[in-house]
Structure formats: C-alpha cells, structure tokens
Amino acid sequence: MKLPELFLNQMRELLGAEYEAFEKSLAFPGYRGLRVNTSKTDTEAFQAAAPFPLERIPWIPNGFYLEEEAKASLHPWYAAGLYYLQEPSAMTPASCLPVEEGDRVLDLCAAPGGKATELAARLKGSGLLAANDISNSRAKGLLKNLELSGAANILVTSETPERLASYFEGFFDKILVDAPCSGEGMFRKDSAMVRDWEEKGPAHYAPLQRSILEQAARLLRPGGLLLYSTCTFSPEENEGSVLHLLKARPDFRVLPLPASEGFSPGRPDLLGEASDTFYGEQLARCLRLYPHRIRGEGHFLALLKKEGETSAQKGTFPKPSLTGKLEEKAAAPWKAFASRLRTDLNPENLRLYDGKLYWLPDALLERNIRGLRFLRTGLYLGDLEKNRFVPSQAMAMALRKEDWADWVDLPAKDGRVIRYLKGETLDAGELMREEASSGWYLVCTDGFPLGWAKLVNESLRNKYYPGWRWQHASG
C-alpha cells in the first residue's frame, strides 16, 4: 500500500523508535470483530454456542476476534440481532462511556450504528438513546441497525449538532462524539481514507470536530460525561481538539480511562504543551491505540466531565404536538392484537401518527420535537389499517419469544429459516400444533425472533420486511 510521504514523516516524528514496528503493521490486513448484543443474549452463553470460532478481545467484555473465513453476516443469528460485526478498536469508545440504566444518552455522529447499538444494549430498555447523523441516507442505515438490535427506547435524528442543541440543551447524561476525522488509523483497511486525507486532511477536520464538541458541551447536563473519539493519529484532531474544548469551556475536565495492555497515553508534548502544565496533565489522560501495539486499528479517546451539580430532570416541556393518543375506535384493533402480548406496554406511552402506532420512552413524552428532522421516535409498533393492526418488523425484533402468545421456533440449521429470511411462504403442517389458531405468529430461530408470519389455513404467509430479505441461498 502506497501511503503519502508527508503522513509517514509525521508518524516517524510521532513514534520515534516505534516507527519501524508501526510501518511493519501496515502490511497486515487488520482484524475482524464481533460484538455480542447483550440485550438479547449472554456473552458467555453465546461464546459457548457460537457457530464459528471466536477469540476474546482483551479490552472489550462482549467483543471477539473473528476469523477471516467466518461468514458471520450470513448466519441466521445475525438476522436475529444477536451480534454486530465491528472492527475491534472501534468497539472501544462505546465500551469506555460508563452508561447506566435510566441514562439519557446521545450518540451525536452515530451512523452506521455500531456504537449506538452497544449503548442501547447497556441501557437495557430504560432511559433514552438518541442517535443522530447529519446525513439522512446514513441515518437510514443507522435506524435499521438499531431496529435489528431490538432497541425500542430510541430517537433517531438527522440534524446538525446546533439544531439538536436548540432542542436538547443540558438534556443528556452521557454523550458519545465519534467525530468525523482524517482516518489515519484506518489506512490499512480502507484505501479510500488515504485519498480523503490527501484531499482534506487534519486541517479540514479539526475545525469541524471543535465545532461539534462545542455543541456537545451544550447538550450535556452538569455532571454529565462526554466521550470524544477519532480513528486518526493526528495531534491536531486528537489532543488539539480536546485542548480547544478545555480552553473554550473551563467547566470541563478530562477523566482517566481504563487501561489495557498496549494502550498508550495522550501526547500533550505533540502540541508544544509542557507535560507539567494543567493542560498537559489533562491531555495525558487521553488514550491512543496503535496497530503495532494492539490487535486493532488506530484510535484516540478522551473522557470528559462537565462540572457542576446534576440538575433534576423534570418534565417541564410541552408534550409532543405531532402525535395524538388513540381514539377508542382506532384503539380497538390494537387492543385485540395486544391481548396476545405477554409483556406490558403502558397505554400512556402510545401515540398514533398518520395511522402508525408508536411506543414512546418516558423521556420523549416531555419534549416538543416539532420541526426536528427525525426518522424514528421510540418503537414503531405497526400500522392501524381500517379494522386491523399490522405489526412492524421493528416490534418483532424488540420482543422476546416468550413475549408473544404464538410462535414458531426453528433451529438455525433448518433450511426453512433461510427460506423465511428470503421471503418465502412456509408450510405450516409440520410446524403447528393441532389446536393452532389463525393469526400472527412470531417466527424465531433457536429461541430468538426473526419477524412475523400469518397463519392462513395450512400456510405461514411470510411477513418478513421486504427491505431486509436475504438474497443469498445459505447461511
């Protein structure tokens, strides 16, 4: 791989005696990773039953190295949302943000969703995950990955950070900013990043990162935590952007991050900041990940705390005016469907908009988000069509098998699973109990939901979302 000589010279200066080891690491193609979705399955149980070899990533509790030949994206468990395929170092930012149940969390630059799905899993269905990407097309992919993971307590938006700050100033407990960057840490995996670096480089991205960080600071509540990360080595984009925030916002401090073998501290010396100054001490608490020191790509992380006392989060804002509660006539089809649910959905959290029914997290009931460009508010349950309710793919993914009265469960090795994922109708004769009644069935594999089917006579009519249907023939 031919890399710009300017970049290589900068890395020689940055790494000194370690440069030779770094240069050798660039010849390696990199590592594949798999992160278990702990909202659906236990990490140890998954490892024990995994259909392909796995090796633990030392610094990620639910992360594994995946062999190059493993076809993990073609296995039915992937369609069931049991795991996300992600480069090992890229798992680190979400793992280092200490999310707790009930938190209001924002992933500000979230697409394609690898970090957002982990944050959602750690919330365990509580609180709120807001996931944003300024690109509407990328935000659509983000939404799919969140729905595939079974996340329900979500708000997916496609806005500028400034617009979000005008709606949610001081609202979030935790914020992740995995910022756009020059991508130096990903050069060996993605040659397109090299071309982007030559056309733009750190001088283009550093001002953008600093603007994003300033808005993130507005969005964070007093006492809240902000995790800033990049996949570049550039001091200008890394320590330089953190230093900019510290100087612009004296109410922020850098906190130490968990150490792991091969992790390196921040480099304030690269900015000309003396290591014994206040800022030097702060920046040394950042983390740098190098491909010659760990089995992963290059990354940078900084965990910052906004000082001040935590303010009480009160519902002082008007409720969303774009949604309305169910009228009795419209509610009847939903109630008939919901009678087969084995889990509670508070009717106070249900909202109907243009014939589509949603369950909203409590945190969204407090906000007026009219005018905000969003793709999803809460869990999309399905459509009310005349006198019937049609459940959504998102709802199927958010349920457990035991949450629904009627289900069909097939082993992942059963060829009918792939046929279902391809959109084919299944013969119900061998699958159903004699007393089985017609209606909606949750189709599962090894106990994990894949989607809906409707039993009509002797056929399970396939209701798997057409946009998700598989094109390949085997798993």
Contact by Cβ (8 Å): 328, 342: no
Choosing from 109, 181, 231, 444, the catalytic residue is 231
Q: Which of 190, 284, 203 is nearest to 10 (CA)?
A: 203
Alpha carbons 64 and 86: distance in angstroms, whole number: 10
CA–CA separation, 215 and 195 (whole Å): 29
Q: Does residue 444 have an active-site annotation?
A: no
Contacts of 47 by beta carbon, 8 Å cutoff, 6+ apart: 36, 54, 56, 64
Cα–Cα distance measured from residue 314 to residue 171, given in angstroms and rounded to the nearest whole number: 10
DSSP output for 13-63: HHHGGGHHHHHHHTTS---EEEEE-TTTS-HHHHHHH-SS-EEE-TT-TTE
Q: How many angstroms separate the CA atoms of 451 and 422, rounded?
A: 12
The closest of 187, 126, 182, 122 to 153, measured between CA atoms, is: 126
- Rounded to whole angstroms, the Cα distance separating 203 from 237 reads 8
Specify the DSSP element, H or E, that contains 106.
strand 104-107
Query: What is the Cα–Cα distance from 231 to 64, expressed in whole angstroms?
Result: 20
23-28-33 Cα angle (round to 5):
125
| Number of neighbours of residue 5 by Cβ within 10 angstroms | 8
Query: Which residues form the catalytic set?
Result: 231
